[in-house]
Amino acid sequence: MERTFYISARYEIVEITLLLSSVPYEYLRRIPLLSFRKLIEGKIEENAREIAWEMWLKAYHYMLINPDVFIPFDDFYKKKKKEKSIEEARKEVAEAVQVFEEVGD
């Protein structure tokens, strides 16, 4: 059974490739693994912020009509970007281990 490999349980490798398409290939080949990971995490964060910005812009018109419900973008983004609980993180790790065990067979 073929399974898709996920990074951070949210992004497929294809999506990571698209996020990194603006980074020169030679640079990617030469950077250390930890720097590569930080680069990917930064690109994911940048993408999430852009999506949240687009969502906030769509709601902005309605927030102008009713100033009582106006939310600054930073507050909106913090609410959208919730931290994972330890249990959620453990569940993701368990799922990743299961996928690696299945692929290894």
Tens digit of each residue's pLDDT (9 = 90 or more) over 57-72 = 988 888 888 888 888 9
Tens digit of each residue's pLDDT (9 = 90 or more) over 13-28 = 667 777 777 788 888 7
**Residue 75: pLDDT above 70?**
yes
β-bridge partners, 60? none
More confident residue, 44 or 88: 44
Give the separation between CA 91 and CA 85, rounded to whole angstroms: 10
More confident residue, 13 or 75: 75
**Residue 40: pLDDT above 80?**
yes
DSSP state letter for 8? T
Mean pLDDT value across the chain = 75
- 94-102: long-range contacts, CB 8 A cutoff, minimum separation 24: 95/9, 96/6, 96/9, 99/3, 99/5, 99/6, 102/1, 102/3
> What is the chain's length?
105
Give the separation between CA 30 and CA 42, rounded to whole angstroms: 18
